[in-house]
Chains A and B, each alone.
Chain A
Amino acid sequence: MSGAKVDIKVVLLGKAYAGKTSLVERYIHNRFSGDTVPYQNVITIGAAFGAKTVSVDNKNVIIGIWDTAGSERYEAMSRIYYRGAKAAIICYDLSDRSSFDRARFWIGELQKHEEGCQIHLCGTKYDLIAENPELRKIEERETAALAQDVRGKVYETSSKSGKDVALIFTNIASDYLKSLKNTEVEDNKEYMVPLRDASNKRFVCSGCKI
């Protein structure tokens, strides 16, 4: 599935209740309803699609965002959402260890099926951590190491406060514009090939385990 009027296809993946929909809500509509609406009521069914135009360096880029449902039964369908995606935002709840394991699973899936997809690791609900650091279940260095393995970027966001939410999408847009300019990616060339080969198998396995 590739969007007709969309420049970049972005897909959000992650465990149920990780905060994917809230992230999109904050980014597209600049609102947050997590405090008022019980989360069971807004659980995503299937997948939701939204688009937003960003301007980077005076150029307009339309980002089409696929906000997928985290529930396990939709897993079989998820491929049609990440097929052809330029970037994937893999969300995990900073206060929920199991959601990080789920993130590893999605990384494995993407590396297996969609190699050209840039991975953005996104820890969510930062406001909770900021309030009470003891809630943090996933250390920054852990995600940094994982991100380096998959040549991805790491963010710790809060959809409640809006922290770093727009940054992810701006980065995705500027990455896209860069790749338009020079079709071959030069920045990461030196360490890109060997690392991927080395890490490929390992992550598939860790994904299978979950």
Chain B
Amino acid sequence: MTTWIFRRLIQAIFVVLAMTVIVFIGVNVIGDPVEILISPQADQAERARAVIALGLDRPLWEQYGRFLWNAVQGDLGKSFVFNEPALRLIAQRMPATMELAVTAVLLSIVLGIPLGLYAGLKPNSFAGRSIMAGSIFGFSLPSFWVGLMLIMVFAVQLGWLPSTGRGQTATLFGVQWSFLTRDGLAHMLMPALNLSLGNIALVLRLTRAGVRENMPMDYVKFARAKGLSPVRVVFVHVMKNITIPIVTVIGLEFGSTVAFAVVTESVFAWPGMGKLIIDSINVLDRPVIVAYLMMIVFLFITINLLVDLLYTVLDPRVRLESRE
């Protein structure tokens, strides 16, 4: 078990290293941050000064070497744009994205699994068919469009919900959270729903497929024959068997929800990390891009790790490293 985790960590470090090399070369190929940041009115001398101030006059390998040296000491560099440590910028934005992503994933579980169960148990009922038809919209409609429609209907036409932004926040553990205030929740409802639509559809369809596959199986028949109540058959026996793929997907989807919340964040002007990374890419703010991607890589690796560990809990047959 320990060696297994250790091996995973070594892999992670190599992935991060490869990623930083790609970003350094990539940003360098795309263009020169100074050209984007500097005032168009600046003369040649001022341009040269800015290049030196940002350390971009050095050869690329030297810039990378310095970055690695500082990174080992826990310093991922300062943003070219804000002159603040890249990690601090990301940390400031992270709670907003995290609470949005967690809410979205919770929504996809709370809505997706019951709807999927229903559609799986009563596949030929009108409601079952409607749920399945509706789920197609969930993953086929582009989320920026759905987001704008939600705003148009609930904010502009009906005026029920605030259109954009994060609203009032409250402090918990020294961090600002929206979900602690009523105003913040009202602001979060539409973006969270928008972000979760695709996931709801996915979880729903997975659940339904699992139920449909398992219901005719012998163990279900046997459980019924034993005289167990339908509730127990579905929620204990069937659920246990269909949870593994669902957990895998939810785990992976949580990663991508965090990493790619950017569309929802920009439509709803939600001040999260996604907006930060897009802005940073637009101005080639390399320290922020690198730090953000490093964080996302670690996030994915951690989630994968957790999912693998969860397997062993959910399915006793799965043994990591199979005790060789």
A binds B: no
Which B residues are within 8 Å of any A CB, using their own CB? none
Which A residues are within 8 Å of any B CB, using their own CB? none
